[in-house]
Amino acid sequence: MIINVVKVLFPSALTFFIGLLITPILTKYFYRHKMWKKSSRSLSKTSADFVKIHNEKGEMNTPRVGGIIIWLSVFLTIFVIYLVSLFFPSSLTEKMSFLSRGQTIVPLFALLAASLLGLIDDSFQIIGKGSYAGDAIIYRKIKIAAIVIIGALIGSWFFYKLGVSSVSVPFLGAISIGFLFIPFFIIVMLAVFSSSVVDGIDGLAGGLMAEIFAAYATIAFFHNQIDLAAFCAVLAGGILAFLWFNIPPARFYMGETGILGLTITLSVVAFLTDSVAVLPIIAFPLVATSGSVIIQMLSKKFRNGKKVLIVAPIHHHFEAKGWPSYKVTMRFWIVGVIFSILGIILALVGR
C-alpha cells in the first residue's frame, strides 16, 4: 500500500520540479521567437462586451504554446524513471516505472497525438498568415475531423482489443451498448474537447485540469489501477508547474497544444477507469463552460438575437458583470474541487 502511494506521488512531484526547471529555458525560446498570435480576435466579428474585457495587448505579446511545458515534463519524467529502472535494476526501481501496455500506453499516445495536433494549430496561429490566422471555419472543421479520427482509433482499440462494449453507471451497473461504444467514445471526446473554451483567463484552465486529473488519479488508485493513477498524478504535477508561471499576469498561455492534449487524454482516462458516467460531475466547470456557449447560441438563434449571458463562455459573463478575473478563476477552482470530490464519491461508492 505504501509503495503504491509513493509510486503515485513521487512521479507527480518529480514532474512538477522538472517543469519548473525547463520552463525558464522554454520561456526564453518562446519570447525570442515571438510565439504569440499575430492577429487579435477583437479585430474580427466580436461583440462590444467581449472587446471591453478582452486583453488584446496580452494576447498579442504572450506566447500561446505554454502547454508544451506540461506534456514535455510528463514525457521527461517517464523517460527518467524508465532510465533509472534500466540502468539500476531492482525491485524498487522496476516497481516505480508506471509505463504499462494495459494502463498507460493508450493515454500516453492520446496525449502525444493530440498535443502535436494542437501544436500544429498553434504554429499556424503564430505564423499569422492566410485565412487560418483568422480562425476560418473550414480549419476548425479540419481539426474536429482529426479529433474524430483519433477518437475512432482509440475507441476501436477499446472495443476490439479490450472487449469493452458497456458503460458503467453508478448504482445501476454496466449498460451494454455494443458497437455503439465506438461512436459514443467519439462523442464524449468531442464533448470534452468543446470545453477547451475554458482556456480564456490566466490560470483558469490549468487549475481546473489539475483538479480533474487529481480526481481521476484517486479513482484509478482505489480501482487498483496504480500505473494509471501515477500517470494522472504526473499530468497534475505537470499542470501545476505550468500554473506556477500562469498565475496573473501569465507568462504564457496554454494554447491548443496544452488544452487539446489534456481534454483528449481526459476522455481516454475516463473510459479506462470505467468512470465516464461521472465525468460530467468531476469536470462540471468544463461542462458549464461548454454548455453556456451552446445556450447562448441557441438563445440568439431562436429568440431573435436575445442573449442569456452578457458574453459567452460563462467565465467571461462574470467578467463582463464586473468580477475581477482572479475572482472568477478562484471561484471556478473552488467549484471544481467540490464537484471533483462529489464525482470521486459517486465513482467509488456507486461501483
CB 317 within 8 A of CB 328: no
* Residue-number span of the structural domain to which 142 is assigned: 2-277
> pTM score, two decimals?
0.94
Q: Report CA-CA distances (Å) from 112 to 123, 162, 236, 261, 285.
A: 16, 21, 16, 7, 25
Q: State the pLDDT at residue 124.
A: 84
Q: Which residues of the chain have pLDDT under 50?
A: 42-44
Q: Alpha-carbon distance 277 to 40, whole Å?
A: 38
Does residue 246 form part of some domain? yes
On whether residue 336 sits in a domain, the answer given is no
Run of H or E residues at 196: none
**What pLDDT is stored for residue 305 in this prediction?**
83
For residue 25, tell me if it sits in a domain.
yes
pLDDT tens digits along 324-334: 999 999 999 99
Give which of 295, 287, 335, 293 is closest to 316, Cα–Cα: 293
Exposed, middle or buried by CB within 10 Å (0-12, 13-18, 19+), for 350? Answer: middle
Examine residue 311 and state whether it is found in any structural domain, yes or no: no
pLDDT at 91: 86
In a domain, 304, yes or no: no
Domain count, the chain: 1
**3-state DSSP assignment of residue 350:** coil
Instruction: Look at residue 135 in the predicted model and tell me its pLDDT.
Output: 56
Per-residue model confidence as pLDDT tens digits over 224-270: 999 999 999 999 999 999 999 988 888 999 999 999 999 999 999 99
Residue 330 forms part of a structural domain: no
Q: Has residue 133 been placed in a domain?
A: yes
Within-domain flag for 47: yes
